[in-house]
Amino acid sequence: MYPSLFLIPVPLGETEPSKVLPSYNREVILSIRHFIVENVRTARRFLKQTDAGIVIDELTFYTLNKYTSPEEVSEFLKPIENGYSIGLISEAGCPAIADPGADVVAMAQQKNIKVVPLVGPSSILLALMASGFNGQNFAFHGYLPIENVARTRALKTLEQRIYSDNQTQLFIETPYRNTQLLEDILKNGRPLTKLCIAADITLESEWIQTLTVAEWRKKQRPNLSKRPCLFALYK
Amino acid sequence: MYPSLFLIPVPLGETEPSKVLPSYNREVILSIRHFIVENVRTARRFLKQTDAGIVIDELTFYTLNKYTSPEEVSEFLKPIENGYSIGLISEAGCPAIADPGADVVAMAQQKNIKVVPLVGPSSILLALMASGFNGQNFAFHGYLPIENVARTRALKTLEQRIYSDNQTQLFIETPYRNTQLLEDILKNGRPLTKLCIAADITLESEWIQTLTVAEWRKKQRPNLSKRPCLFALYK
């Protein structure tokens, strides 16, 4: 195995790894001794869940957060120069999509290190698949602004792009603010614009539904409080 | 199992299913008798590869292409009303992302049918992970225009959005035109804009590299001819 930076996805919440991760990922994990992680405790738990026989004490963990300096990241990548692969483990879902991992990957690319992404669950992609919306042209925006005027303006701009660019618009919110975001969408959206809400993706309680804004307005609101959700808009 | 429309991903090219698909997908497939597919021959091959014991003759296939009418799609979904789940199988990668499957999902959502997306390889997402680019804000545009003036304009617009919106821009090209697209990007891009080329994702020959436009210009061009590629731009 050519020494590489492997990007290792993790289940989204309490899900069996075999439900959302290929068995090949386990093989890769078992061949690696050096891991860059956001939280050592949860990373250890994931590794034990992947293979109960893993001897955690033989592994080296490097902790990554938004305060980690470029010099530290550079240091984390040293084992590759000595021939040892490194695994970058996400806290949930796919590394480097919505977490600090992207900086590690960017530096690896700068150093001409081989980067190998492994398959795993992405709530963005799974929501897009299940929405029925345009998958040939789509944008993910992360979090919208919290402040009222800025948020309304952001929602209007995204809705405009659906019609001008034929582009699906995806975004997220902190779970305890989901209910408020839904109200803001229903207040500001055009009646015929479609909204897909995808909650608890890959979990037992997974729930994904697409309706027009007008239809959502007439329905009893779903309970989205504290549930990880993706919101998608299209025409 | 609640009767649902399962979205079933397929490997990208000649790859063992266990490398890119969770074992759970196999369980779901073995519980389904009705499949909506683009090409019956390749779908059969995928099913046999998933489980050599599958009795193909006991399965019903509905063929989907861009000429399939909404009435036919509605007919395809009938088994769900009678309590039987349906699998929507992609030709490669994840269904409903860049194939006609999205229309089937849209109709299922309209009919209030439960839609369940399964995890699998998406070249868009894997390229984004490995690029080191912004994964909190990104857009995928499918194919760019072929005609020279329109393509140059499209490339300039996308590059502008990197800087104005802090957004990663992803797109693809028909494999035999990859070489030309690369030349067009290098001709029109700003020197410090970064370009990630991701070729043959998940295959043995996988190759992913990020460099600035200025750096790519100085290098010998990679051979991208006939290789499926994702192109990503960021700052």
pLDDT attached to residue A71: 95
Residues 27-86 of chain A whose Cβ lies under 8 A from any Cβ of chain B: none
Using the Cβ of A231 and the Cβ atoms of chain B, whether some distance falls under 8 Å is answered with: no
d(CA A213, CA A233): 9
Q: What's the whole-number average pLDDT of chain B?
A: 96
pLDDT at A1 over 80: no
pTM confidence score: 0.96
pLDDT at A172 over 90: yes
Using the Cβ of B222 and the Cβ atoms of chain A, whether some distance falls under 8 Å is answered with: no
pLDDT attached to residue A100: 84
Average pLDDT over residues A28-37: 97
Q: Is A55 exposed, middle or buried (0-12, 13-18, 19+ CB in 10 A)?
A: exposed
pLDDT at A99 over 90: no
Find the closest chain A residue to B106 by CA distance.
A132
Concatenating the DSSP letter of every residue in A116-169 gives EEPP---HHHHHHHHHTS-SSSEEEEEEPPSSHHHHHHHHHHHHHHHHHH--EE
Using the Cβ of B214 and the Cβ atoms of chain A, whether some distance falls under 8 Å is answered with: no
What ipTM goes with this model?
0.96
Decide which of 3.40.50.720, 3.30.70.380, 3.30.950.10, 1.10.101.10 is the CATH code for A123-234.
3.30.950.10
- What are the backbone dihedrals phi and psi of residue A113, each rounded to the nearest 5 degrees, phi first? -85, 140
Find the closest chain A residue to B21 by CA distance.
A22
Q: What is the pLDDT of residues B105-124, one digit of tens each?
A: 999 999 999 999 999 999 99
- What are the backbone dihedrals phi and psi of residue B154, each rounded to the nearest 5 degrees, phi first? -60, -45
Which positions in chain A touch B206 (Cβ < 8 Å)?
116
Average pLDDT over residues A83-108: 93
pLDDT at A66 over 90: no
How many residue pairs from chains A and B have C-beta atoms closer than 8 A?
Answer: 168
Band of pLDDT at residue B142, cut at 50, 70 and 90: very high
Strands A4-8, A86-89: parallel, antiparallel or unpaired by DSSP?
A: parallel
Q: What is the pLDDT of residues A181-204, one digit of tens each?
A: 999 999 999 999 999 999 999 999
Is B20 in contact with A24 (Cβ distance < 8 A)?
yes
pLDDT attached to residue B1: 73
How far off is chain A from B214, nearest CA to CA, in Å?
14
Find the closest chain A residue to B104 by CA distance.
A132
Is B139 in contact with A135 (Cβ distance < 8 A)?
no
**Which residues are registered as beta bridge partners of B168?**
B138
Residues 105-164 of chain B whose Cβ lies under 8 A from any Cβ of chain A: 105-110, 112, 115-117, 119-122, 124-142
Which positions in chain A touch B21 (Cβ < 8 Å)?
22, 119
Average pLDDT over residues A73-78: 96
pLDDT attached to residue B99: 79
Q: Is A83 exposed, middle or buried (0-12, 13-18, 19+ CB in 10 A)?
A: exposed
User: Between B102, B115, B116, which is nearest A135 by CB?
Assistant: B102
Decide which of 3.40.1010.10, 3.30.450.80, 3.10.20.30, 3.20.20.60 is the CATH code for A4-117.
3.40.1010.10
Fold matches, A4-117 and A123-234: no
Q: What is the pLDDT of residues B186-210, one digit of tens each?
A: 999 999 999 999 999 999 999 999 9
Q: What tokens were used for A70?
A: 């470029």
Domain ranges in chain B are 4-117, 123-234
Q: Distances from the Cα of B154 to the Cαs of B64, B146, B158, B184, in angstroms?
A: 31, 10, 6, 11
Is B23 in contact with A24 (Cβ distance < 8 A)?
no
How far off is chain A from B108, nearest CA to CA, in Å?
8
Band of pLDDT at residue A173, cut at 50, 70 and 90: very high
Using the Cβ of B186 and the Cβ atoms of chain A, whether some distance falls under 8 Å is answered with: no
Is A128 in contact with B210 (Cβ distance < 8 A)?
no
Using the Cβ of A230 and the Cβ atoms of chain B, whether some distance falls under 8 Å is answered with: no
Preferred mutation among B25, B26, B88, B119 to probe A, highest tally of A CBs within 10 A: B119
